[in-house]
Amino acid sequence: MAQQVNDNNFEEIVLKSDKPVLVDFWAEWCGPCRAIGPIIEELSKEYDGKVVVVKLNTDENPVTPTNYGIRSIPTLLFFKNGQVVDKLIGAVPKPNIKAKLDALL
């Protein structure tokens, strides 16, 4: 299951991770966010132990999305060694997300 992160623990969980990290920036009211939610959960199971998969609610945590210039959701940011290395915006198909994850491994 994808872990929930917030403004307070983002640095510890995402930036200091020794594994690649997928961050799903989402909100409860966002239809496309709800559409890819199950895909994010599937990927968290498929990549368990290889990639850290987390979700950040942009309504409850405004600081981190602002820091990364998140203007629309869902936005998926891919981190490696504490740096953003890729991103996807919108409700994209699972194969597109998997391709980005596989490139990080």
For residue range 73-105, what is the model confidence (pLDDT) as tens digits? Answer: 999 999 999 999 999 999 999 999 999 999 999
Domain count, the chain: 1
What tens digit of pLDDT does each residue of 20-73 get?
A: 999 999 999 999 999 999 999 999 999 999 999 999 999 999 999 999 999 999
Distances from the Cα of 61 to the Cα of 26, 57, 66, 70, 88, angstroms: 10, 6, 9, 12, 20
**Cβ distance 19 to 52 under 8 Å?**
yes
**Cβ distance 57 to 40 under 8 Å?**
no
In whole angstroms, what is the distance from residue 28 CA to residue 32 CA?
10
Which residues participate in catalysis according to the annotation?
30, 33
pTM over 0.95: yes
Containing structural domain, residue 35: 3-104
CATH code, domain with 47 = 3.40.30.10
